[in-house]
Amino acid sequence: MIYITLYLIKMKNYTCLILFSLCAWFSVSAQVVDVESFSAKITELPKATLLDVRTSGEFGGGHLPKAQNIDFRSATFAQEIDKLDKSQPVLIYCLSGGRSAQAAEVMRAKGFQVTELKGGYLKWTTKMKPLEGVPAVKHDAAWSLADFEKLTKENGAIVVDFYAKWCAPCLKMMPMVDKLAGEFAGKVTVLKVEADGNQSILQAYGIDEIPSFIVFHQGKVIEKTSGFREEPKLKELFVQAIGTIQ
């Protein structure tokens, strides 16, 4: 809440409005920014502490480049953050934003200047931003754009799953995609396109976020969507592909 007093002073032919703040109380709102803004801050603030508050196991599966890991759920979290430099800003994230929000609240109470990543590591990976520490994996065979387009035209109902093996939401959705592929066997063809190695297809269809799905019906794109979907929402894509109401 801000209290302002206003003074009107007559000076010759002019009326001057002078604002004088008697007292002000500012509530500092939590700063939560999207992936692009968070990425920009990492570049703009090279001395900032980039803090990953997930478990060491999660951190070991991949993390933002140069991130430091302090598990928010650990008994020593408070002691560990006290070792950080309060004079430098903190850029914080977790898997999806819940733990980092709680950790940021604790840190702000201790005098840290904290910026949170909205959507956390999940959202960062869907935007295909840089990672480090990701275990080496064998990539699936790449598609040629010509072969991909030929298949979409030759098959009546298709759901295309664009994924990456380092993308947490992609991996979470894979069992659901496989389950629905079985349920709709003979009606819907499922094509899986790994983002790594298939840039020509991603570019041709404007895919800049994963997981993403494109639904084809009789060779035409009838739906394009991105982001994590629970099974009922995912099933809607299969229903759209066959063009009937299940």
pLDDT in tens, 46-71: 999 999 999 898 898 899 999 999 99
Measured between alpha carbons, how far is 165 from 14 in angstroms, rounded to an integer?
A: 69
Instruction: Tell which CATH architecture fits domain 145-242.
Output: 3-Layer(aba) Sandwich (3.40)
Measured between alpha carbons, how far is 80 from 74 in angstroms, rounded to an integer?
A: 10
Whole-number percent of the chain with pLDDT over 90: 63
Q: Where are the domains of the chain?
A: 31-126, 145-242
* Stretch 190-197: mean pLDDT: 91
The 10 Å Cβ neighbour count of residue 49 is 21
Note if 170 is an active site residue: yes
- Going along the chain, which residue ranges are E strands? 2-11, 14-24, 31-33, 49-52, 68-69, 90-93, 114-117, 157-163, 189-194, 212-217, 220-226
CATH for 31-126 is 3.40.250.10
Q: Exposed (0-12), middle (13-18) or buried (19+): which is 69, by Cβ within 10 Å?
A: middle
Each residue of 65-101: pLDDT tens digit? 999 999 999 999 999 999 999 999 999 999 889 999 9
Q: Which of 16, 23, 94, 167 is catalytic?
A: 167
Beta-bridge mates of residue 225: 213
Each residue of 111-153: pLDDT tens digit? 999 999 999 998 898 888 999 998 888 888 889 999 999 999 8
State yes or no: pLDDT of 154 exceeds 90: no
pLDDT band for position 23 (cuts 50, 70, 90):
very low
pLDDT band for position 203 (cuts 50, 70, 90):
confident
Predicted TM-score (pTM) of the model is 0.67
H or E stretch at 235: helix 231-242
Note if 167 is an active site residue: yes
State yes or no: pLDDT of 13 exceeds 50: no
31-126 and 145-242 share one fold: no
Measured between alpha carbons, how far is 144 from 142 in angstroms, rounded to an integer?
A: 7
Evaluated on CA atoms 149, 150, 154, 155, the torsion sign reads negative
The whole-number pLDDT of residue 110 equals: 96
